[in-house]
Amino acid sequence: MRRTLRFLAGVLVGGSALGGYLAFVGVDGVAARLSVVAPGLLAAVAVLVVAEGVVDGLGFWASVRPLGGGISGGRSVQFAVAGDFFDALSPAGPVSSEPIMATFVETATGTTYSEALAVRSVAKYVKSGAQLVVSTAAALVVVLGGPAPGYVLTTLGGAVVGLAAAGALVVRFRGPISGGLAVVLGPVVRWVSSLYRETPHDRSVVDRALERFWTRIVRFRGRPGLLALVAVGGVAEQLLTAAALWVALVGVGAEVGVLAVVPLVVVVPLPQVASVVPIPASLGAYDVLLGGAIGLVTAVSPATAAAGVLVVRTATLLFSVVVGGVAVAFLRGWRLR
């Protein structure tokens, strides 16, 4: 009975989210996007989108493995799909969805929120880094033998160097960073805890949470295999997304050969900057950035690129809000103490 109610709650949540998306872009607009693609190609896009969501479970499993023994493979896929739901609905995508997911990870592993947030932060960092490295390598091939401008390679290479430098600086100066965060977060935690506790939390609670956060991060240095799995999962997701984009472009009439998948691999991580746009799923901003990037690295016209992107985005959002909503309904965000 309880599982049935959770399933129905998930359908309700996912259906409501889907209704909001349809209201935003228009039912006719969504139907028009899907109608231009042959049913077989549309099914292939859907399979690739679902596969990308399932593969995300590999990185999720590896990231939470150090916490209380981790969670099973099946539950990891559930958590990953639920994360897609919050990515779609959160104002800044993964930036705001990961703090939400950390609550569920904490409960599932019997650890603390700061530890859960730490491992998921490491996973996002490693995943982004691996995807950027692969994009940079692919960009080198595309720039040397195709129409892509040289600044695409320069931008990606600079992003890789910047990401590596930022990670090294954060770990090296984690002490001063923790001190600054404690000063900023201390009053906030005290005020929020005063709403439900007779004795509000003081700064020592924040200090201990930050210490657990950093301790959990640096312990990954002794688990390189887990970090490798996170990286492999991220690259696999990137390749599946590029394949889905290629199928969609073929479906909307673009004349692209199989090798066009290589430049598509290049552009997959680029639109992540759209997550700074404070609207759910960065609707509109992500589509424009990805379509424009495809136009830069391929001979596909802007209109055709936009049509292909919209097909993949529609399939992705349908999967995220409906299946992800059901996955969220079966998560537990608290435990009895």
Query: Domain residues of the chain, as ranges?
Result: 1-330
Angle ∠(302,307,309) on CA atoms, nearest 5: 95
CA 71 vs CA 10, 59, 108, 210, 334: distances in Å:
21, 12, 7, 24, 16
pTM of the predicted structure, to 2 decimals:
0.78
The reported pLDDT for the residue numbered 48 is 94
The reported pLDDT for the residue numbered 337 is 41
Return the number of other C-beta atoms located less than 10 Å from residue 333's C-beta: 12
The reported pLDDT for the residue numbered 77 is 92
The reported pLDDT for the residue numbered 83 is 87
Distance between CA atoms of residues 80 and 98, nearest Å: 11
The reported pLDDT for the residue numbered 22 is 56
**Residues of the chain scoring pLDDT < 50:** 274-279, 282, 335-337
Distance between CA atoms of residues 318 and 325, nearest Å: 10
The reported pLDDT for the residue numbered 89 is 72
